[in-house]
């Protein structure tokens, strides 16, 4: 197996998880052995604190590659986006904010496109990851794809980059957009996007449901649920203001739990839905017994610990 066949397994095997797993395992083994950065024990691995959220370590980033659905759908979305833009331009520029030690979401594409077609710019706050990805590209003899690499904070409003990009990728999040820097990175990076450009993911919706007890514990998304509303709609085409808030009302229902679902629209038909990976595991917000008709205010707090917050409004308000 080589990089090209591994990528093709991931992109074109539909739902054949044995082939997809084979491709992802090959990528991990090739990248980790080349860089000497492995998905090791996370017990004592602490994420880096910044003013705009936490940043994963290179070991955390290595674990992200091994998450099958997450890596598969991102790679498929990026492939669709590359194909889309190459219909209109002979060469495209791609920016990857938070590339980690492998440049996971772009490096495999060096096996199916030429350096004349795609050029990469990497941003990374961890010096070890910057050194690692540079070394990886040298060892794989693909440095011609690497337009530039920057050791920097992608949330920094003073950050300056040359030109604009056809595709920008940032996959710096946890479920419910907790803790990590996806929101501030996106807000800062969108200024570097061409007018017709694509940001991946295109939309992240934090949706609220009333949910009952799971119908079938062996079927991931078999919850009995009733949609309450979208608490935070982070759409690249209509980014919410930093101080925006949403008011939702709890309907009358026998369902007992208030849960938050993270739905991630990547590009085209590619998306990540409930239970598909660690990013989309639902979170219980409350057990709102006897609270039908009550209104809840939601807002996304952007600081060193980003998080969706909520509070019940006073009755009759």
Query: What's the pLDDT tens digit per position in 269-299?
Result: 999 999 999 999 999 999 988 888 899 999 9
User: Among 166, 201, 236, where does a domain finish?
Assistant: 201
pLDDT digits (tens, 9 = 90+) for 46-81: 555 666 666 656 677 777 888 999 999 999 999 999
Query: In whole angstroms, what is the distance from residue 240 CA to residue 11 CA?
Result: 33
**Contact, 297 vs 247, CB < 8 A?**
yes
What pTM does this model have?
A: 0.93
pLDDT at 103: 96
User: Among 167, 201, 235, where does a domain finish?
Assistant: 201
User: Among 183, 201, 219, where does a domain finish?
Assistant: 201
Number of domains forming the structure of the chain: 2
The answer on 241 and 132 residing in a single domain is no
Residues with Cβ within 8 Å of residue 289, at least 6 apart in sequence: 256
The answer on 133 and 88 residing in a single domain is yes
Query: In whole angstroms, what is the distance from residue 291 CA to residue 315 CA?
Result: 10
Q: Give how far Cα 34 sits from Cα of 6, 28, 99, 101, 266, Å.
A: 16, 10, 16, 11, 29
The answer on 208 and 194 residing in a single domain is no
Name the nearest CA neighbour of 64 among 112, 92, 24.
24
pLDDT at 48: 58
pLDDT digits (tens, 9 = 90+) for 160-179: 999 999 999 999 999 999 98
Q: Domain range spanning residue 107?
A: 3-201
The answer on 217 and 166 residing in a single domain is no
pLDDT at 44: 53
Name the nearest CA neighbour of 78 among 35, 113, 52, 44.
113
Query: In whole angstroms, what is the distance from residue 41 CA to residue 59 CA?
Result: 8
Average pLDDT over residues 102-110: 97
């Amino acid at each position: 197996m080589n990089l090209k066949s591994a990528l093709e397994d991931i992109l074109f095997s539909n739902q054949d998880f044995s082939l997809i797993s084979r491709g992802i395992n090959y990528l991990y083994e090739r990248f980790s052995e080349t860089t000497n950065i492995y998905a090791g024990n996370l017990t004592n691995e602490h994420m880096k604190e910044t003013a705009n959220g936490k940043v994963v370590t290179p070991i955390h980033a290595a674990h992200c590659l091994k998450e099958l659905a997450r890596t598969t759908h991102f790679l498929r979305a990026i492939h669709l986006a590359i194909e889309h833009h190459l219909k209109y331009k002979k060469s495209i520029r791609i920016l990857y904010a938070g590339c980690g030690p492998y440049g996971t979401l772009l490096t495999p594409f060096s096996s199916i496109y030429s350096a004349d077609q795609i050029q990469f710019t990497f941003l990374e706050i961890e010096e070890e990851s910057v050194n690692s990805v540079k070394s990886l590209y040298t060892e794989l003899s693909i440095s011609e794809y690497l337009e530039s690499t920057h050791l920097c904070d992608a949330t920094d409003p003073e950050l300056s980059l040359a030109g604009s990009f056809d595709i920008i990728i940032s996959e710096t999040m946890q479920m419910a957009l907790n803790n990590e820097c996806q929101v501030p990175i996106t807000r800062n990076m969108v200024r570097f996007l061409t007018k017709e450009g694509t940001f991946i993911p295109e939309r992240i919706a934090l949706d609220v449901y009333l949910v009952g007890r799971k119908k079938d514990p062996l079927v991931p998304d078999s919850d009995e649920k009733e949609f309450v509303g979208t608490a935070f709609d982070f759409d690249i085409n209509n980014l919410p203001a930093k101080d925006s808030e949403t008011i939702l009302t709890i309907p009358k229902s026998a369902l007992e739990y208030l849960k938050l679902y993270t739905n991630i629209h990547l590009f085209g038909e590619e998306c990540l839905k409930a239970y598909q990976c660690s990013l989309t595991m639902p979170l219980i917000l409350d057990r709102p017994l006897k609270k039908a008709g009550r209104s809840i205010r939601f807002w996304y707090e952007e600081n060193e610990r980003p998080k969706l917050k909520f509070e019940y409004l006073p009755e009759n308000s």
